[in-house]
Amino acid sequence: MLKKKIIKLFFTLMISIMCGISYLYIHDKDVIEINAKFLNFYIKHKLTTVFPDSEIDIGSTTLAWQNKSENFVLSSQDLTIKNTKLGATITIPKFLLYSRVGILFLWGNCDFSYIDIPKVRVEFYDIQKKFEISPVNNSVQILRDMMLKAIKLDIAVFIRNAVIAKSDKEDLVIKQLNVKVNKGYDKNTIDFNVQNDNSFISMRVHEHYKGIMSFEISYGNFSTKILGYLGNLNAQLPLYENLNLSGDVVLRINEDGEVTYGGVNVQNIKGHIPCVSSHKCYIHDFRMRLVYQNDVLSVKNFSLLLDQSKIIATGVVDNENVNLNFNIDVVSPKTLCNYWFVNLYPDLNHWYCTNVTEGKMSDIRLQIKGKRNEIFVHDDLSSYNVSADIENVSIKFNDNFDPVRIVHGRLYLRDNQFFITSDNSDFKGMIVQGGVLKIENLKDVNAVMSISGSSVGNVKQLYGAVNKEQFIPLDDNKIFGDCHTSFDFKIFNLLNDSVVDYESYIHTQVESFKADGILDIFDVYDANVDITLHDNDVKIDTQGYMNGYPMFLKVDRNLQDNYKFHYEFAGYISAENMKELKVFRCENCSGVMKSNLQWDINDDNTIIAGDIDISRLKIHVNGLPRDSFDGVVKFSASFKDKDEVKIDNASIIGEGIDIELNGKAGNNIELMLNKIRLKNTDIKAELKRDSDSITIKIFGKSLDLSTIDFFEIMKRQSQIKQTKVDVNVDRVIMKNNVVTSNVDFKLDYYDDVCPNVKLTGNFLDNSNFNVEYGPIGLEISTNNAGELLRAMDILKVINKGKLSFYMYPVKTSEVTSGMFSLTNFHIVNASILAQILTLSSLKGVVNTLNGKGIYFNTLNVPFIYQDDLVNINESWAEGSELGISLGGEIDVNMKMFNIKGQIIPAYVINKIIWQTPIIGKLLTGGQSRGVIAIDYKVKGTDKDHDLSVNLMSILTPNLLKRVLKVFDSKLIKKEHVKKKSNKVEVDENQVSMVS
């Protein structure tokens, strides 16, 4: 004990001696500097308490005595503080500490001392690991700790120029920053002031007894740019760097760090703040007063102009309950996404922000009322009550539908139920009434959003509202009818992590539907249409009238499965419809066909099948035995491209008709007709056709050509360049029921080159015929001319005989000639000849004509042919009973003739007289082959003609005809001369009168 007292006394004596010596040394000097390493250590030690975990480097430190001011000055040069955790480097070129109490500041006594920093530079750099301190949750505690540390420093600090820097930002200059500490008996006070031009923040903190603290903060036009440099503390801080604040704050904090009183008066806030999305929201004006007292926070005078919305709020919050009321004048539905936190119903957020666009929400009333600990439970919105008017808001249900525009409606959120009602909505021109959108229970993760409503309008509005690719193409101007539509949509998994799914149901009924030009072809009227759209399935049922008959159409279509279709049609299709559809070419067809059709479209493949009743179809086709058939067409076909249709099988079965075929049709046709059975026809055929050629092969037992008009076929024009026909049939029925056998027909025709045609066969009497046409001309021969002429429907009055026909090749508009020779034949039942003979009083010959026929041994007819006109020179049919001459013109196209000639009875005797030298010419007149000749003329057609016989020629011999003809010609010539003489005399008289 005594030893300790001695040691203390020694140190006290030594310090006294040292102080005395020091005083004697410095009392007469102005400035005395002391440079010692322990001063650097002292500064580092003090700065470490303020900047823990930092690297501190000091260039040099001196302690100087200023005699005039009686101050000790501690000066440090080139001071650097580097904190890697904060990512900051502080550079202080010069650090000055002034003390008027000697060096007692070294022992912590900073009375009458202050720190002067003329210039400081704080430079931040990016670090990988951020502090991420929460300024909201820890703000009070952080503020309290900082102020307590500042008070413990017990020294004033004056910074005259502070520069805050960061590599990607401009330097921020703070012109003045002061910290003053005043210790009192019952409290300690610290004043903190920052000033930069017209911006300032001032804070006074009082530390009362037992650690109770109070804060008085005021700020005017304070810029938050400094927050842009503090990203290492919290990544969110730089987002608030563009605000200007004015107002004041009063806080009282007890010894436990709890706020006992608070008053926040925000006079004005302007600038950008971060929104939930990448978009920044702009605060035009924000005023508010908050009062916290007795554990109750009161919100007063809250007025916020955010973007284009004005928000007014009042309410109270205590430790257990929240009761806040917000009124928002107007906001865009899309803008809500800027304020909607993503983690609050994320799927619902995504659906809303994706599908709800445009329009506005007005008179929004939001009440937050409930237990404080339940307010921010993300899956419970029972404490929230929202109502708002909505106008022209567009909602898109899914990608398959265009948006619905809610012209006017009301939005509600209460008791975890969300719903929108609308008395006026629009969907692509359709007026929707009574629409409701709702989610029954937002707490249920499997809750379903349902959207329902109905619409009444006309079918034009309905058709304009749908995707036309999903339905049959129609002309908007040619559809009429009234429709009633109801719809119901369900959207699943908006409140859970599963994939959002949709379910849709739309039902439309159309009454008195009328549509003209469906597919540019069909007209439907007086129809009722029922349309159902369920998810991706479309069903259409139509009952009405088409072509004057009832019709039914059913359509099933899948919009997702590669647009899968199924059609069913029952009704009557007219011949005109088929022509316009270009299913077949039949210019002379008429009537209707009762049809039952089904076709399916899957991806790019189409299958069509059905049966068609053709009993009411009139087919006026050359060669068919009749123009209508009591039969049914059954078929099945498929195609990927309409230019090529594959016919799997087709048949026409009915009374007197049985046809089966398969193959393909389109731009190119390849058909195999496995069976063609008509009245007298039993054949098979092959048909191939492309754009330039056609090939036909016909073979079988029997072929009926009795109704074919060959001349009509020959007149037709064709665009086909090459034609090949090959016919080989056992039995062929020709015109006038002429039966031929072993018929072989070949035709080869290319472009304008003269075709090669060959036809051979036999008649029932085993006589043969041969027809050939080629470059050398047309040659026909047969030993049964009557049958051949009847078979070709040229002449029916010839019986038997041998025919030889030749004509040079025919070219358009050119003249050609030929010879028609017939021998050993009979003329039978020739009505025109019978009329001539009757008028000529040759009744006996008439009886022969109508009986076994009149025999002729030769007929040679030379002719000239041009443009369907045949000119015949005088030709003679010579027989024992009669001789007949004929000459004139025949129109092959019109089947008209203009023929004149003579009929000589007892032709053999007359011919002998005619051939007698001198006497024969004298008796016959020299120009006829008989003494008596009957002159005739006939003009018209076979059934309608004018016939005349010169009765005087019957009584007058040809010699007398010749004499009278000479006199007659003389008289005509004399009369002509007399008329000419009279005309000359009249002309001379007229000339003399003029003179």
Give me the DSSP letters along 93-127: EEEEEEESSTTGGGGT--TTEEEEES-EEEEE---
The secondary structure of 200-252 as a DSSP string is EEEEEEEE-GGG-EEEEEEEEEEE-GGGGG-TTT-TTGGGG-SEEEEEEEEEE
Kindly state the tokens that stand for 579.
């022509």
What's the rounded Cα separation, in Å, for the pair 626 and 618? 9
Q: Report the first-to-last Cα separation within the chain, whole angstroms.
A: 194
- Give the mean pLDDT of 309-335: 91
Query: Quick check: 729 pLDDT over 90?
Result: yes
Per-residue pLDDT at 762 exceeds 90 = yes
Residue 943: count other Cβ atoms within 10 Å of its Cβ: 7
pLDDT band at residue 984 using 50, 70 and 90 as cut-offs: very low
What stretches of 801-872 show up as alpha helix (H) in DSSP? 831-839, 843-850
Prediction pTM value: 0.57
CA–CA distance from 763 to each of 130, 480, 592, 739, 787 (Å)?
113, 65, 41, 6, 8
- Each residue's pLDDT tens digit, 8-46: 555 555 555 554 555 455 555 554 455 556 667 777 777
- Please give the pLDDT value at position 34: 54
Separation between Cα atoms, residue 191 and residue 174, nearest integer Å:
17
Strands 71-83 and 55-66: antiparallel
- What local confidence, expressed as pLDDT, does residue 967 receive? 45
Q: Mean pLDDT highest for which of 257-271, 432-446, 447-461, 512-526? A: 257-271
CA nearest neighbour of 545 among 525, 528, 529: 525
Are the C-beta atoms of residues 896 and 940 closer than 8 Å to each other? Answer: yes
Strand partners, 649: 636
Q: What is the pLDDT of residues 571-620, one digit of tens each?
A: 998 888 877 776 666 667 888 889 999 988 877 788 889 998 888 887 76
Most confident of 290-294, 487-491, 557-561, 973-977: 290-294
Render the burial of 655-689: b for 16+ CB within 10 Å, e for the rest: eebebbbbbbbeeebbbbbeebbbebbbbbbbbbb
Lowest-confidence segment of 64-73, 169-178, 618-627, 884-893 by average pLDDT: 618-627
Q: How many CB atoms lie within 10 A of CB 841?
A: 14
Please state, as a whole number, how many other Cβ atoms lie within 10 Å of the Cβ of residue 988: 9
Pick from 874, 838, 840: which is nearest to 859 by CA? 874
pLDDT tens per residue across span 766-799: 999 999 988 888 899 999 998 998 888 888 888 8
For residue range 201-230, what is the model confidence (pLDDT) as tens digits? 998 888 887 778 888 999 999 888 888 888
pLDDT, average across residues 294-303: 92
- Contact status, residue 599 vs residue 607, Cβ threshold 8 Å: yes
Nearest to 764, CA basis, from 798, 787, 790: 787
Instruction: List, in sequence order, every beta strand (DSSP E) within 42-87.
Output: 55-66, 71-83
Give me the DSSP letters along 895-951. TEEEEEEEEEESHHHHHHHHHSTTHHHHHHTTTSSSSS-EEEEEEE-SSSEEEEE-H
User: What is the pLDDT at residue 552?
Assistant: 94
Band of the pLDDT at 148, cuts 50, 70, 90?
A: low
Q: Does 983 score more than 90 pLDDT?
A: no
pLDDT tens column, 644-677: 888 889 888 888 788 999 998 877 888 999 999 8
pLDDT tens digits, 853-896:
888 899 999 999 988 899 998 888 888 778 888 899 998 888 89
Residue 328 β-bridge partners: 311, 364
Q: How confident is the model at residue 382 (pLDDT cuts 50, 70, 90)?
A: confident
Contact (Cβ atoms closer than 8 angstroms) between residue 362 and residue 371: no
Tokens for 100, please give them.
Answer: 């008027």
Q: What is the pLDDT of residue 142?
A: 65
Return the structure tokens found at 886: 């004929």
What whole-number distance in Å separates Cα of residue 571 and Cα of residue 845?
A: 64
Backbone angles phi, psi at 426, to 5 degrees: -135, 130
Question: How far is the C-alpha of 882 from the C-alpha of 903, rounded, in Å?
Answer: 7
